[in-house]
Amino acid sequence: MVTLIRSTKPGSDWKSNELLAYNITVTSQDVATFFGNPTLPPSSLHRVILENEIYPPGGIADRDDRKFFFYLEPAMRNPPAEGIVEEFAAHLLGLLGYDDIVAGGRICRQKHIPLFMCGGYTHAKSNVCVANRNGKIFLLVQEQEEEEGVDPEAQLIAQAIAAFQYNNRLLLRIRKEPIRAKTIPGIITLGTTPTFYKINVTQDLVDAMETAQYPEDPTTVHRLVPPVDDLDGLGRDGMQPLNNRAVILGLFEAFKQFVD
C-alpha cells in the first residue's frame, strides 16, 4: 500500500485507490452495533406521512408535509429528476429537525469545502450538509449517482476529512485548540434509500494525507445499510412502502445522536 500513487485530487474524483492509499477501510454493522441499541426511536413526523404511501386523495393542510410527497415520487425514479434527490434529502433533514440540533444550525446545499492534501489545495463538495452560522460542518449527505466509475463512499469520506480540516481551521481562528479526532456522520442516498456512516477522522490521518504518506494506523469507517425490503433489486424501493418508511425514519431519528 505504501507504493500507491498519492496526489492532490478533488473529493469528487476520490475512489477506492484513495482509501487504500490512506489505510481507510469501510465495515458494515447491524443496527444494535451501530447505535449501541437495537431499539429505534419512533418518528417525530406527522401521522399523514407515516400512514400514507402516496399523496392522500383528500390533500394535506401542512405545507412541509405536502412537499415530502411531492419530492418522494420523482426522487424514486430511475433515473430521478435532476436535483430532486438533493431536494428531498434537504427537506427531510429539515422536517426531522436536524438543523435544530446545533445552535444556529442550517441545512446547506452544494457546499464546497477546502481540502488540503499532498501539499496542495483542492476541494470536496457535499450535496447537502448541516452547518452552523459560522460554517462549522456537523453532517454530510452525498447522492449516489447512476454513473459508472463514481464511488460515493470515497467521495463522502473525502468530504468528512475536508470538514475535519475546515472545522479545525475555524477553531484556530477563534484561538481555540483544534481537536485531534472526531467521528463525522454522513449519509449516502440512492433515491430515497439512505445508507448511514460514522467516519472516524484523526489528526494523524490528516497529517499523513497532507504530506502524501501512508498512515501507520488504520482508519475504520462504520456503515449501516437499512434493514428494509428491496423489492425491485435496485435499492430504489426506499421510503415508498410504509414498512420501509417506518424503519428508515427510525434510523434518521437515532442518527441524530452523532450530530453534536
Evaluate whether 195 touches 143 at the Cβ level (below 8 Å).
no
Residue-wise pLDDT tens digits, 207-221: 999 999 999 999 999
| Assigned C-alpha cell, 75 | 426522487
How much is the pLDDT for 4?
A: 83
How much is the pLDDT for 127?
A: 97
Q: Where are the domains of the chain?
A: 11-258
Give the pairing of strands 219-224 and 24-28.
Answer: parallel
Residue with cell 434537504: 90
How much is the pLDDT for 235?
A: 58
- Collect all residues with Cβ–Cβ distance below 8 Å to 159 and sequence separation of at least 6: 11, 113, 124, 125, 126, 140, 142, 186
Name the nearest CA neighbour of 49 among 192, 182, 147, 181. 192
Q: Is the pLDDT of residue 223 over 90?
A: yes
How much is the pLDDT for 231?
A: 57
How much is the pLDDT for 232?
A: 57
Residue-wise pLDDT tens digits, 1-58: 457 889 999 999 999 999 999 999 999 999 999 999 999 999 999 999 999 999 998 8
